[in-house]
Structure formats: structure tokens, C-alpha cells
Amino acid sequence: MLKLLAGVPADHPSLWGRVEVRPASPLIELSDAVVLPPQRLAGDVPQWWRRQVYGVFDRHGDHVAALSDLRGERRICQPPPRLEACAAPCQPVLELPEMLYGGTLYNHYGHLLVETGRAYRLLQEHRHSDLPIWFHDITTRRRPVTGLGFVRQWLRCLGIRRRVQLIRQPIRARRLLSAAALYNDRSFVDAELRPACLAGLRPSLREKLAQRPGAGRGVAYLSRHKLRGGSTRFPQEAELVARLAALKHVDVLCPEELTNPQKLRLYRDYAVVVGFPQSSMHLKLFAPGERLARQVLLVAGPQCLSSSWVNLDQAAGFGDAYLDCGVADRSPSCADPAFLRSNSFDVDVVVAALRQLAA
């Protein structure tokens, strides 16, 4: 039985994180701001989000916390609260009269899509500017984040690949424009995220998508059965895929085999998009129009439904749904080291639901 995603109870065993939608916030403007590049900390630090620090400081030398990221309770690479407490960078200071700060480009597909929200917010008002958009990068210098294929492809979808500049030295900006985070994983979503995502997409791509009829037919099932690693493994998914082959009007698709424009078109061309929570499902935020496919998330096992999905649905007003299909897992620890956990699910429940959705 399908239930509204926005109505997931707080004590649902699959729900993980805090539910909150924040009101839209204006752009942040700073004068005489200092932006520090990533600085690696000494010693063996196991948590990746604490190995480096970087951030933006106002004219008084105070760290601007609104321009740093959170994931749940994790403070991502946040520096000391005062500029004088930071190690002095060895690079010369770059002086800029005006700076557009887009936040951090992450080397993870899902976080890249939604945590680039500061840049989308800037593009609402500065799409046609010739100013570069500056980003922090926490990957190694040998392979910067802009050298990753999926990052380059997404920047092309945004139409800003040539405008991207990575922060490699301290910058003093006479005027800095940015935005508070529109998305914080497992924490909150800003009400402006959906409009910003629509504005962030390259106009020509957005127009091509809008020209498609919308309110399509059939079901697109987004399968993870070919993935070789990730957060959660669903061991019965190969069986599910085999059984779905007998259902009319149900297409099994592997998102990793599709381009971003092809994945975006799913929300214009199908009536329903179904799958276990995964990064590519964030792309509905960027699909233009009101007649979009309804999205149904399959939830099975503890902590497999991040509260971010609830926050996104409430903020965007999609009215999407979820289906409980979990069963008691005989082996809660995952035997496959490529995955963090293994969650079993009831194949019959999913097949029955998709048969009804495709009817």
C-alpha cells in the first residue's frame, strides 16, 4: 500500500534524520570577505570531513557558518571560528572586486546534485553574468573534482563548465555574493531549492525538457542490481528484475547507464518512477513542468530512508509516495565489503504494487 512520503511518521524504523523545511532565505552579501582554500590538517584523521578545513570569513574575521556545510551532525571541513586561529596559507592572496561563491563541488553524484544549491541560487539572478563561480574542492590536487567525468557532465547540464573556478589560494573579495545552504543532508531543505534547481539547469536543456508532453504512461523501475558498491545492498533485487520482465508497461532501467538528460526525461515521459532511494532520483527537482512522473520510494530495513527525501518532497510539494516492503533480515551485517549494509525486502509486495501502478 502506497503512503504519502510527506506523511512518514517520525518513529518509522526506516526514517533517518530530522524533518524540517526552512523558509526561503535571501542571498548573502559580504564586503571585504576572506576565503581560505582547503588546508589539510596534520596527523592521522580517520573522518574525511575533518581532514581539511576551509571557509569564508567576514570583514571582522568571523567564520560565516551559513556558508559551510552540514550533514546531519557532521560539520564538513569547518575552520576555527576566527580567522587569526587558522594557519596562514603559503600562497599569495588573490584580490577580487566581486566574487560569486558557489560552495563546494563534491565528488559524489548525489551530493553534487543537491549540495551545489548555492550555485543554483546564484544562477537565478546571475545566469548571464560573465563572472566566474568559485568553488571549494576537497579532492586531491592530482585529480581535481572538475577532472571527474560525471562532474564535468553535470556542469555541462548547468551550462557553467567554463565559469567554474576552484579556490586554490586565499581570496580577498571586496564584495562576495553567495547563499546559505538550500539542502543539508538528513537535516533540512530550504523552500527555495526547487525554484533554484530549475533555474540552475541550462536554459536550452530546460526548454527541450519542457517541450516533451509530460504526464506519460507506464512505470520506470530504477534498478541498482548492477551496482558494484554503495551504501545499501538489496540482495533480492536481481530476482525482482527477472520477475518485472513479465509485466507490461514496466521498464527496468539502470541509471548508471543513462545520461543526465535521459534521466531527466523519465519524469516527463513516464507516469511513475519507482526505486529504492538513490542519487538519480534527486533529478526530479530539475525537471520542468507540473505534469511530472510520480515518484515512489521503496523502503526496507532500518535507516534506509534519509529524512532528506521527506524534506525534499515537502519543500517541492510533489506529493510523492513510499512503499514499505521490508522483511526481517537474517544477516543484518553485509557480507559484501563493497556495501555498508544489506537490507532484505519482500519481492511479492513490490511486484504487486508495480503491477497495479502499471495497469
Mean pLDDT for 202-228 is: 91
The confidence band for 105, taking pLDDT boundaries of 50, 70 and 90, is very high
What values do phi and psi take at 162, rounded to 5? -80, -15
Per the DSSP assignment, residues forming a β-bridge with 100 are: 133, 177
Inform me whether the pLDDT recorded for 295 exceeds 70: yes
The pLDDT value given to residue 331:
47
Long-range contacts of 66-70 (CB under 8 A, 24+ apart): 66/28, 66/180, 66/181, 67/28, 67/101, 67/103, 67/118, 67/178, 67/180, 69/103, 69/104, 69/115, 69/181, 69/184, 70/181, 70/184, 70/185, 70/187
Distance CA 128, CA 119 (A): 13
Q: What pLDDT score was predicted for residue 355?
A: 96
Q: Report whether pLDDT(30) > 50.
A: yes
DSSP 44: -
CB atoms within 10 A of CB 38: 21
**Residue 230 pLDDT exceeds 80:** no
- Of the chain, the end-to-end C-alpha distance in Å amounts to 15
Is residue 124 pLDDT above 80, yes or no?
yes
Q: Taking all residues of the chain, what is their mean pLDDT, rounded to a whole number? A: 93
pLDDT-derived band at 142 (thresholds 50, 70, 90) equals confident
Amino acid at position 142, single letter: R
Q: State pLDDT tens for residues 34-73.
A: 999 999 998 888 899 999 999 999 999 999 999 999 998 8
Instruction: Write down the pTM of the prediction.
Output: 0.94
Instruction: Write the pLDDT tens digit of every residue in 160-213.
Output: 999 999 999 999 999 999 999 999 999 999 999 999 999 999 999 999 999 998
Residue 245 above 50 pLDDT?
Answer: yes
Least Cα distance to 307 among 66, 104, 73 occurs for 73
Q: What percent of the chain has pLDDT over 70?
A: 95
Domains within the chain, CATH numbers bracketed: 2-17+213-358 (3.40.50), 26-185 (no CATH)
pLDDT at 32 over 80: yes
Rounded to 5°, angle at Cα 185 from 53 and 144: 45
- Integer Cα distance of 100 and 223 in angstroms: 38
pLDDT of residue 204: 98
What is the rounded CA–CA span in Å between residue 188 and residue 128?
A: 30
pLDDT category at 342 given cuts 50, 70, 90 is: confident
Q: What average pLDDT does this structure show over 211-238?
A: 83
